[in-house]
Amino acid sequence: MLKENLYATPFAKVYPYYIAKAERKGRTKAEVDEIICWLTGYTQKGLEGQLKKQTPFRDFYGEAPKMNPARSQITGVICGIRVEEIEDPLMQNLRYLDKLIDELAKGRPMEKILRTI
């Protein structure tokens, strides 16, 4: 039941929290958007459209143009669970984004967050 409630939650409702977490640590909205676009394949315009439409998480990830194949390199613990061991693909994508935002807030360089080096 809790998963279904989360999946039905509009991405736009959680998005400001991602930005606030990053900004509290001296990072920017542009960096948050870059991470989201890297993970999902949305363009900036596409991301803004999804936010405006109040797209639920389920559809935000389901309609993503191309989930980045390098996301499988994201490892670690979020909410006490290893992201690489999550079996539900939608939940795993949600937690991948959480992990990337955590890395941003911890001051990790964007090149490492985006797995480019």
71: Cβ contacts below 8 Å, ≥ 6 apart:
39, 93, 96
pLDDT for the residue numbered 117: 67
Task: Write the pLDDT tens digit of every residue in 37-76.
Answer: 999 999 999 999 999 999 999 999 999 999 999 999 999 9
Whether the predicted pLDDT of 1 surpasses 90: no
Could you say which architecture CATH assigns to the domain 2-113? Orthogonal Bundle (1.10)
Annotated domain spans of the chain: 2-113
* Closest CA relative to residue 103, chosen from 79, 63, 76, 82: 76
Whether the predicted pLDDT of 2 surpasses 80: no
Task: Write the pLDDT tens digit of every residue in 102-114.
Answer: 999 999 999 999 9
The first and second tokens of residue 40, run together, are 């999902």
Whether the predicted pLDDT of 101 surpasses 60: yes
